[in-house]
Chains A and B, each alone.
Chain A
Amino acid sequence: MGEVILQMKLIDKSFPGVHALDHVDFSLKRGEVHALMGENGAGKSTLMKVLTGIYTKDSGSIIFEGKEVEFHNTHHAQEAGIVIVHQELNMIGDLTVAQNIFIGREFKKGFMIDDRKMIEESKKLFNELHIDIDPRARMSDLTVGKQQMCEIAKAISHKAKVIIFDEPSAALTEKEIEDLFAIIRDLRKQNLGIIYISHRMDEIKVITDRVTVMRDGSYVGTLITNDCTKEDIINMMVGRVIYEEPKTHSMVPKDAPVVLKVEHLNAGKMVQDVSFELRKGEILGFSGLMGAGRTETARALFGADPKQGGSIYINGEKVTINSPEDAVRHGIGYLSEDRKRFGIVVQKTITENSTLAALENYMAGLFINKSAEKDVTVRYIRELDTKTPGPEQLVVNLSGGNQQKVVIAKWLVRNCDILIFDEPTRGIDVGAKNEIYKLMNRLASEGKSIIMISSEMTEILRMSDRIIVMCEGRKTGEIAIEEATQEAIMDKATRDIK
């Protein structure tokens, strides 16, 4: 490890309603792999976005190679030598691999873009990294894992001094992760500074030299990876929060009836012949890598995407679900991973959101029965313990956890008995996360049946009564919670991938 290349001091950043970063410190040395850890919503990604100029900090300073810097956009940061490999893929699907890698800095021949040279350079780059991808392929034709590799290749080709990996392994198979680690070790040897964000404790132990932990937007501490245990790191991440005890056995009674049965569901490439059953009062976890087809399965089941085949039975009766409207009529509620786009109408009040799916029950003739609407909203604010000054509060002013509660209220008002939670705690801070967990357990014990899609292994193991694992659009395993381990799930989640 060399001298310090990058230092972030007392970085502060607020968004409306959220203090995202509270005077955070971070420092990175040349030739080290530095893990940045914390639960969802701890502020890791925000800190990195401040560093690379996507967000402007409110106060604090960034010192890079001995000079104070402030980047106004990613382009500035790239030119200075700080490159980020984003968690969400930032690829332009309609362009080719080579065109994506060199976008923004194309080789030119006069007026013309020199595509041939870009393809050659991409080939060289892939050869160095031992990646087998055709630079002429259209980006949207590649698998998620390959796209991720392209993104990494693009970052490296920038002649970077600091590379940030924001959860790079979320979409990768074990083989691909090994390749990635080989690349990272190579970069470390070349004396680059590497920031590695991940949730997977095992990876952190294998690849990183130091670990900085964040919690609730604050800096907690920095450890040397070899001198600490997983438990040390987890304690720092979790802090004061006491979590729901992980489940060791299923909470569902043996004779609980099957409320939902899905047989041979097919919908495009991402859902192939998926069958499963859901019992009354059960939390059924759906695990898998990014792009395994879990969300697509839920969307097809919910009628949001067209199906090519399959039958759905609710309480033993065969039903036809061709639209979300059908699904809701049969008592299925869907809580999207992307709340702001699909879950709530942020510029409306809690009341308006709560009754959105069941408005026909709150009509007096042609008009909305405002007082009945308010009564039911207040009831659910109390029952779900939503923190708000009142039912007329605009949803945009609530925190992530409370927004999620409004979505839950919406489906409860509609009397939905089957709830699909897609990444239920994404973007929700640590304290509120546990409340959502408690709420889900309570709903299940009250007889609601829950499908929970989650990319967080801890969440899957903590919440599920039974776990279904998917890989590349197929169901590859079904594990009872008693037998579930992280290894068993990962094994099934990467089973089909060559």
Chain B
Amino acid sequence: MSVRAPTINDPESGAELDEHDPRRPTRPEDELIHHLERDQLVAATSLPVEQAALSPRARAALWALRVFVVLVSLMVIYTFIDQLH
């Protein structure tokens, strides 16, 4: 299950209510929880955000970078082991 990616300044996001807002709750624990944004609650953050659609070019570039970094890391590790001897 995925949710719409959270955006800011969204009236549905449950931004903090003003001190004099009549919707403000009266119970102490309710008052406390109003200081959290709606998308800050564990119930909201435990839902995954939408997956981004990467272009084939971006995907290829990421793979090229990943392969390059792995190769260089192997070179560093080889040098490290070589220096031990």
Do A and B interact with each other, yes or no? no
